[in-house]
């Protein structure tokens, strides 16, 4: 099959295509018309979805395309099942686009894989292998699995994952391009890697459970971001921590009323087994804090409350460090990704009270009650330095689409990998 050529035009489409038509066809391809568009990038995204829906499997971008225009087309054109292929426009951005697109594809494929194929160990192994492939001998890998988590004191990951026959894992990948094993760690990325979330004994409905293969979207996003930063010339030492588990029901699963004691002495009463992401992330944040890194970014598909607040267009940003929060938002703006700040104050640490422990893991009401996303962030704040200096929490509301939209395909989006990668370079 020959390539289907796609070009951009600032001229309106011929009248036979309709008033202000965004797309017209010819014998060899299509033209996207931007002349009357109030949002040219969205027009490109909608046109890309139109072409993909026509089952056009090979496109070649022709003429004058900017990096952002090509990236937007690729984000919207590339569906998860039998995706089409793209030949980039002949511009100076071709190599940059290839590196970015490789990170996009890795992130999306990881999230879109079936939960049967993506066990916690498989998630950790695939992430480790990809980072190792990119970094070679600059990358070292350590995995703590199953009962070894309990022995090491990583009680959040252990308890959430012990209900499954497939053991939970804490992955630690160390990218150290300095060649000095004693070099300080510049940043740590922590990802929630719940490969399937049934809700545990706080079981979800079938509708609520259908897309829960995406609950490891945080792990995929930070892995994709680190890989992208590495292929973009990152010179800093960065650790990647993935907190991987299946949240399932069995005779060995954790239960409501259990109390988990963490390495820092914080005790947590489980009042909702479906608020498991924060329980595994707590271990990752404790390990990240141990490294002394001045920047810690965690990413998670953590709360429905963030989606209620922001829809599926923005990722929510939380931090008690004003400078770190502003730097994260500036990185997102520079990378043309949508991030938005939500409140996090010291008092949010105490918004999930417990009579039996230092804190509960949520509030015993639907969705965790009002300010659920901020309360979840407040819970996590117990596991970093008391002032939260250098820590940014990302609640990934825009990580996954349960159905296709006019401008995005169904499934994982990989939104956020560019912003996190830039943050690693610039912080």
The last residue of a domain, from among 25, 58, 92: 92
d(CA 363, CA 305): 13
The last residue of a domain, from among 41, 64, 92: 92
- Give a yes or no: residue 346 inside a domain: yes
Q: Provide the 10 A C-beta neighbour count for residue 301.
A: 29
294-350 per-position pLDDT tens digit: 999 999 999 999 999 999 999 999 999 999 999 999 999 999 999 999 999 999 999
- Residue 216: what pLDDT? 98
Q: Which domain range does residue 41 map to?
A: 4-92
- Residue 1: what pLDDT? 61
The last residue of a domain, from among 42, 57, 92: 92
- Give a yes or no: residue 138 inside a domain: yes
Q: Are residues 121 and 156 in the same domain?
A: yes
3-state secondary structure of 141: strand
Q: Are residues 147 and 31 in the same domain?
A: no
Q: Are residues 270 and 414 in the same domain?
A: yes
Q: The domain that contains 390 carries what CATH number?
A: 3.40.630.10
10 Å CB burial of residue 341 (0-12, 13-18, 19+) is middle
The tokens for 265 are 């002495």
Q: Are residues 334 and 390 in the same domain?
A: yes
- Give a yes or no: residue 261 inside a domain: yes
Q: Are residues 316 and 361 in the same domain?
A: yes
The label of the residue with tokens 């499997």 reads 57
The tokens for 357 are 């422990």
d(CA 404, CA 415): 15
- Give a yes or no: residue 334 inside a domain: yes
Q: Which long-range contacts (CB under 8 A, 24 or more apart) does 92-101 make?
A: 93/66, 93/67, 96/67, 96/232, 97/67, 97/70, 97/71, 99/228, 99/231, 99/232, 100/71, 100/228, 100/418, 101/74
Q: Are residues 55 and 111 in the same domain?
A: no
- Give a yes or no: residue 345 inside a domain: yes
- Give a yes or no: residue 97 inside a domain: no
Q: Are 300 and 277 in contact (CB under 8 A)?
A: yes
Q: Are residues 71 and 110 in the same domain?
A: no
Q: Are 138 and 177 in contact (CB under 8 A)?
A: yes
Q: Are residues 189 and 333 in the same domain?
A: yes
3-state secondary structure of 204: coil
- Give a yes or no: residue 354 inside a domain: yes
d(CA 342, CA 317): 6
Q: Enumerate residue ranges in the chain where pLDDT < 70.
A: 1
Radius of gyration for the chain, computed over Cα atoms and rounded to the nearest angstrom:
22
Q: Are residues 84 and 144 in the same domain?
A: no
**Do strands 267-269 and 359-360 pair parallel, antiparallel, or not at all (unpaired)?**
parallel
Cα dihedral 55, 84, 115, 107 sign:
negative
d(CA 288, CA 267): 19
- Residue 51: what pLDDT? 96
Nearest to 100 by CA among 123, 122, 78: 78
Residues in the chain: 427
CA-based diameter of the chain, in Å? 72
- Residue 109: what pLDDT? 98
Q: Are residues 8 and 134 in the same domain?
A: no
Q: Dump the DSSP string for 373-400.
A: HHHHHHHHGGGS-TT-TTEEEEE-TTSE
Q: Are residues 412 and 385 in the same domain?
A: yes
How many separate domains does the chain show?
2
362-394 burial string, b = 16+ CB within 10 Å, else e? bbeeebbeebbbbbbbbbbbbbbeeebebbbbb
- Residue 352: what pLDDT? 98
Q: Are residues 73 and 205 in the same domain?
A: no
Q: Where are the beta strands (DSSP E) in 113-211?
A: 139-145, 169-175, 187-197
- Catalytic sites, residue numbers: 204, 278
- Residue 366: what pLDDT? 79
- Give a yes or no: residue 188 inside a domain: yes
- Residue 36: what pLDDT? 81
């Amino acid at each position: 099959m020959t390539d289907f050529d796609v070009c951009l035009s600032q001229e309106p489409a011929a009248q036979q295509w309709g008033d202000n038509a965004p797309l017209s066809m010819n014998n060899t391809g299509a033209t996207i018309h931007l002349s009357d568009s109030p949002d040219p990038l969205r027009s490109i995204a909608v046109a890309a979805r139109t072409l993909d829906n026509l089952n056009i499997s090979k496109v070649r971008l022709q003429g004058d395309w900017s990096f952002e225009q090509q990236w937007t087309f690729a984000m919207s054109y590339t569906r998860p099942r039998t995706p089409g292929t793209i030949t980039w426009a002949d511009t100076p951005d071709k190599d940059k686009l290839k590196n970015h697109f490789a990170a996009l594809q890795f992130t999306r494929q990881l999230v879109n894989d079936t939960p049967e194929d993506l066990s916690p160990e498989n998630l950790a192994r695939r992430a480790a292998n990809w980072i190792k492939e990119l970094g070679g001998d600059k990358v070292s890998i350590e995995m703590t699995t199953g009962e070894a988590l309990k022995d090491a004191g990583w009680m959040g990951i252990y308890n959430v994952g012990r209900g499954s026959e497939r053991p939970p894992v804490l992955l630690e990948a160390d990218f150290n391009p300095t060649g000095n094993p004693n070099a300080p760690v510049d940043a740590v990325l922590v990802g929630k890697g719940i490969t399937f979330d049934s809700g545990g004994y706080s079981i979800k409905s079938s509708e609520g459970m259908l897309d829960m293969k995406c609950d490891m979207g945080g792990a995929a996003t930070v892995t994709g971001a680190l890989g992208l930063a590495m292929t973009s010339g990152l010179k800093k030492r960065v650790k990647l921590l993935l907190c991987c588990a299946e949240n399932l029901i069995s005779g060995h699963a954790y239960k409501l009323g259990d109390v988990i004691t963490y390495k820092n002495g914080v005790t947590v009463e489980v009042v909702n087994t479906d608020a498991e992401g924060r329980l595994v992330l707590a271990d990752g944040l404790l390990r990240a804090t141990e490294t002394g890194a001045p920047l810690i970014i965690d990413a998670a598909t953590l709360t429905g409350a963030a989606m209620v607040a922001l829809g599926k267009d923005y990722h929510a940003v939380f931090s008690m460090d004003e400078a770190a929060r502003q730097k994260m938002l500036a990185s997102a703006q520079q990378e043309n990704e949508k991030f938005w700040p939500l409140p996090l104050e010291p008092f949010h640490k105490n918004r999930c009270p417990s009579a039996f422990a230092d804190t509960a893991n949520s509030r015993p009401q639907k969705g965790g009650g009002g300010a659920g996303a901020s309360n979840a962030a407040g819970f996590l704040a117990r596991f970093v330095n008391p002032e939260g200096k250098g820590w940014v929490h990302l609640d990934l509301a825009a990580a996954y689409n349960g159905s296709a939209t006019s401008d995005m395909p169904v499934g994982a989006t990989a939104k956020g990998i560019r912003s996190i990668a830039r943050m690693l370079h610039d912080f």
